[in-house]
Structure 1
Amino acid sequence: MEWLTLALSIACGGLVGFSLALTGGGGSTLAVPLLLYVVGMGDVHLAIGTSALAVSLNAYANLIPYARAGHVRWKPAIIFSALGIVGASVGAEIGQMVNGRQLVGLFAVLVLFVAMMMFKPRVQGAAGDTEPPGRWMALRLSGTGLGTGAVAGFFGVGGGFLVVPGLIFSARMPMIDAIGTSLFGVGSFGLTTGLHYAWSGLIDWSVAGLFIAGGIAGGWAGASVAGRLASRRGVLHQIFAGLLFTVGIYMLVRTYLL
């Protein structure tokens, strides 16, 4: 592997990990275009498989500082992820059957959708407003997890942009807890997707390792400043949403016009 590819893989992983830990979503959506257009990976399905595995392990690593700070709600996380894993398995199998060019086009639309969601202000949960995991909350968590997992598996993303609002809606938890808890779902969905792609030989293990190394460093940095930047996180979301919007447009233009 050339030194430039090595450096770009680590740097791109760091950017994804930092965003994932700081905002709980959007970073994993950026992983595939980074692998395609910055690292230079030519196969779309290979990029999706590699990013899914890398993002999953980054999410699990970034979960640790949130758990230590008491910002992970384990029961909702497990309920949400249980059916989400089923959805991710189905989505990953369908995604592998889609033509690469069509998949990039659909992925570009997803990136634009995520950007628009990040432009909108998020609904904040109140501190201490988490419900005990009763029957109705479990049903809400399971249904939202199933749909989120299917989207995550199809596109090879962690789905944090859906997991965070899904947890706030389903379990009425505060934002900082939703971000920390979401990392368990992101890791579970990404690992499920990554294993399906690995079974088909669609993972570049060397790039994945570098991406993970950069992502862990970036993720721990993001987690360390998450609490301090709570009042400015809205601005960070706006900036990152603008970046995603630009990436989405670029992907559409490159796929259909160039």
Structure 2
Amino acid sequence: MSVLLAVAALPCGLLIGLLLGALGGGGSVLAVPALVYLLGQSPHEATAGALIVVTVGAVTGLVCHARARRVHWAAGTALGVLGTAGSYLGSRWSAALPPGVLMAAFAALMLVVAAMLARRGLRERRTTDTPTESATGDVTGAPAATTPLRDPVRDDLIAEPVRVPEPVRDHPAPDPVRVPVKVSRVAATASAIGLLTGFFGVGGGFVVVPALTLVLGLEMPVAIGTSLLVVLINSLTALGTRAGTIALDWPLLAGFAACAALGSHLGPRLTARLRPQTLATAFACLVTVVAVVMAATAVPRL
């Protein structure tokens, strides 16, 4: 590996790891274009090498989130295991495609990822900006209104607020309704995630995080940490499928993966300093630019 390639690999791997650790997915889509256009890999070599980078970054980020207890091990393992069949098939189909078709399809995937990340940023911004109401109907954070009392003798205002007793309930409050989880929906989602991982060499975290929040009802921080477990299982399956079929530049990938591991370690700390919606929106713009450049390069060659 030349010094020029090593210098180019450092910032790319660091950025991918940062995004992977901070957002739980999406950063791996930059691995393939970085390996192809900056580091001189072929499309098939890049999709296989990206799996190594994603695997190392997922392990590092998963350890950080696990220490903070932001990983739902049962849900992550279930999604990962259910997606192994899709990951195996995706790896086989990817090897059979011409390089130009593979890169054009990857550019289309990046546009989808950018749209999903932008939508996620807008949704989180609306959730953050919307005022929440307390149990009494008052907006959270607003000062409580007080009703002045009049002394019947002095007819002066008394500063004490009126304390209205809470109504006595005859029956206990009903338990919140739980939305049933459809097994078929979870299996289909897991298979699609595995298919994306095996076919494109990406982790699929941009699909895993919405699936964990919408389908399984996990909170966003836990969904981000759990998605790394799903990414890890799918990436290992795809790597096992491609083992021995493609010659890889291991020194190059080792340096690239080491930078991704460092960035993934720092990613969870980045979420504490920056608003997740701001990070997701900025990353969506970056992915869009890269996707347009890839499409302009790959489509004329079809």
Distance in 1 (CA, whole Å) between partners of 2:217 and 2:247 is: 38
Cα deviations across residues 199-241 of structure 1 (Å, max 9, x unaligned)?
2024322222111100111111111222343xx1111111110
**1:80 and 1:176, CA in 2 relative to 1: closer, same or farther beyond 3 A?**
same
What is the SS of the residue equivalent to 2:258? helix
Q: CA deviation at 1:135?
A: 8.3
Map 1:1-258 onto structure 2 (within 5 A): 1-41=1-41, 43-121=42-120, 136=181, 138-229=183-274, 232-257=275-300
Over alpha carbons, which structure has the higher Rg? 2
What is the SS of the residue equivalent to 1:101? helix
Distance in 1 (CA, whole Å) between partners of 2:262 and 2:244 is: 28
What's the Cα RMSD here?
Answer: 2.1
Distance in 2 (CA, whole Å) between partners of 1:28 and 1:35 is: 11
Larger relative contact order (C-alpha < 8 A, sep ≥ 6)?
A: 2
What is the SS of the residue equivalent to 1:71? coil
What is the SS of the residue equivalent to 1:225? helix
Aligned length: 249
Q: CA deviation at 1:139?
A: 4.5
Distance in 2 (CA, whole Å) between partners of 1:213 and 1:57 is: 8
Could you tell which deviates more after superposition, 204-213 or 159-168? 204-213
**1:135 and 1:202, CA in 2 relative to 1: closer, same or farther beyond 3 A?**
farther
Identify unmatched segments of 5+ residues in structure 1: 126-130
Distance in 1 (CA, whole Å) between partners of 2:279 and 2:23 is: 8
> TM-score, structure 1 length as denominator?
0.90
Native 8 Å contact 2:26 2:113 kept in 1: yes
Distance in 2 (CA, whole Å) between partners of 1:252 and 1:139 is: 35
Identify unmatched segments of 5+ residues in structure 2: 128-176
> TM-score, structure 2 length as denominator?
0.77
Identical aligned pairs, as a percentage?
33
